[in-house]
């Protein structure tokens, strides 16, 4: 099709309206990772201490301590992990550029094999190989994806990913602790904590489904199932500690 002014105008409109995933798609992994860990670990503190029959103030202290300490730990871990991955990307890319310089015939054959797997054949295969290997930067980037499964974008913005992990941990993780922060009778707190934990897991699952645009029930089922298993184990450990160690305050 001829690239007329009308075509280019319509094309720009198409690009502006084109939607591939949600705006939060790049950080949904951090939201789910931080949120799920926040919910499960906070409820683990609540369930464990309740199972051990510890007083309310212990639950609050341990719960708030978990929110801050574990949240910061997860955020810094996400940051350092991405920084390490970025350093790895740069090192391997440098090695690929050196191999392109010292053994271009072998690296060109690797590009050719990659294109064959993608379905290129005959003249198209030859032409595509020539185009990619005519630019060393494009050549190296293609090798990074084809041989190592790495892209520059996947290692970018470590601070953003760390921040989203921390925020998600705090927002979702505080929910199981709310019944102990507000005035409720002792007999009401733990049942409300269990209900709020289930609600937090469902909300996180719905967020996942909304961002990834999958079946609405799939996210809540997955996350609630995994979270409930972790919560049950935490409560069971608390009960066992109480019966075996005889903890009482």
pLDDT at res. 95? 93
For the residues of 79-142, what is the DSSP string, one character each? Answer: HHHHHHHHHHHHHHHHHHHHHHHH-HHHHHHHHHHHHHHHT--HHHHHHHHHHHHTSHHHHHHH
Query: Which candidate, 162, 208, 213, places its Cα nearest to that of 200?
Result: 208
The model's confidence at residue 15, banded by pLDDT at 50, 70 and 90, is low
Instruction: Determine the pLDDT at residue 106.
Output: 93
Alpha carbons 243 and 241: distance in angstroms, whole number: 6
**Pairwise CA distance, residues 130 & 138, whole Å:** 11
pLDDT at position 156 is: 79
Q: Whole-angstrom Cα distance, residue 132 to residue 145?
A: 13
The Cβ of residue 112 has, within 10 Å, a number of other Cβ atoms equal to 16
Q: What is the pLDDT of residue 163?
A: 94
Rounded to an integer, what distance in angstroms lies between the CA atom of residue 188 and that of residue 180? 10
Of 120 and 185, which is predicted with more confidence?
120
Instruction: Give me the pLDDT at residue 114, please.
Output: 92
pLDDT tens, residue by residue, 204-240: 888 888 887 777 778 888 888 877 787 777 677 767 7
Give the pLDDT score at 21: 55
Predicted local distance difference test score (pLDDT) of residue 249: 38
- pTM, two decimal places: 0.75
């Amino acid at each position: 099709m001829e690239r007329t002014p009308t075509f280019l105008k319509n094309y720009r409109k198409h690009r502006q309206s084109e939607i591939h995933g949600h705006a939060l798609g790049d950080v949904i992994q951090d939201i789910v990772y931080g949120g799920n860990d926040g919910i499960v670990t906070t409820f683990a503190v609540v369930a464990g201490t309740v199972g051990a029959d510890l007083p309310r103030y212990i639950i609050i202290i341990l719960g708030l301590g978990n929110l801050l300490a574990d949240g910061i730990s997860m955020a810094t871990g996400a940051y350092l992990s991405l920084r390490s991955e970025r350093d790895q990307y740069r090192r391997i890319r440098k090695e690929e550029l050196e191999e392109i310089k010292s053994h271009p015939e072998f690296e060109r054959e690797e590009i050719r094999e990659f294109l064959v797997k993608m379905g290129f054949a005959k003249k198209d295969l030859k032409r595509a190989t020539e185009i990619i290997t005519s630019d060393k930067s494009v050549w190296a980037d293609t090798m990074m994806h084809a041989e190592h499964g790495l892209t520059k974008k996947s290692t970018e913005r470590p601070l953003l990913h760390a921040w989203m992990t921390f925020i998600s941990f705090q927002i979702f993780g505080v929910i199981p602790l709310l019944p102990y922060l507000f005035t409720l009778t002792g007999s009401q707190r733990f049942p409300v904590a269990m209900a709020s934990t289930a609600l937090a897991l469902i909300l996180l699952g719905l967020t996942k489904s909304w961002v990834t645009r999958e079946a609405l029930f799939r996210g809540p089922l997955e996350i609630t199932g995994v979270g409930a298993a972790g919560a049950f184990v935490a409560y069971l450990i608390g009960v066992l500690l109480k019966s075996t160690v005889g903890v009482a305050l």
